Amino acid sequence: MPLARDRILLTTAVVSGAADETYYPITGINFAAQLGYRYHVRACVCYTAAANTTAARIGLSASPTTAPTLAAFTVMTATGITAIAGGGYTGIVTTASTTGGITAPATGSGVGTAGTVITLEGFYVPAATQVLQLEIAPEEAAAVTVQIGSYLEWEIVS
């Protein structure tokens, strides 16, 4: 049986690429989700932007790109809460030509050179053994910097 609970903490800042609406992995913030288990997943991403006009969204990608049996998440940002729910992949699985996994839609996530926090929390049931990778996407054509202390935590709930 895999480890029942873990937290992966970012210890080095990660700068995203600058392509608008493109997801970039937050290096080192991932875990192996095993087939046959249900996961409670929580992420907290602190980031800064080069300009007050640049916001970001967060999400998860899955490799290999098998659609999950269930993925239901809530994303909380500076400007509100977005619920993302679906049996299977409805509305949250991207195509293999992008991240190939689940991603949160745009949430009006707030902006700021001083720093912004986005949280993602929910449940995930993989349809195959796969690696879930935390990602960030700038909402303008400018990089964002994910700050030290951001984290992804997970626990097996059944």
Q: Tens digit of pLDDT for each residue in 43-85?
A: 999 999 877 777 888 888 888 777 777 777 777 776 666 655 4
- The closest of 59, 58, 77, 56 to 68, measured between CA atoms, is 59
Rounded CA separation 54/109 (Å)? 10
Rounded CA separation 75/158 (Å)? 23
Its domain, for residue 110, covers 5-156
pLDDT at 75: 73
User: Residues 6 or more apart from 36 whose CB is under 8 A from it?
Assistant: none
Contact between 93 and 101 under an 8 Å Cβ cutoff? The reply is: yes
The pair of structure tokens assigned to 48 is: 């800064």
Mean pLDDT value across residues 129-136: 88
Mean pLDDT value across residues 2-24: 89
Rounded CA separation 102/104 (Å)? 7
Integer angstrom CA distances of residue 128 from 14, 20, 33, 52, 115: 28, 30, 8, 40, 36
The total of structural domains in the chain comes to: 1
Please give the share of the chain, as a percent, with pLDDT higher than 90: 30
The reported pTM is 0.81
CATH code of residue 77: 2.60.120
Specify the 3-state DSSP secondary structure of 48: strand
Integer angstrom CA distances of residue 104 from 2, 120, 140: 26, 9, 16
Mean pLDDT value across residues 135-157: 91
Sign of the C-alpha dihedral computed for residues 121, 153, 66 and 109 taken in this order: positive
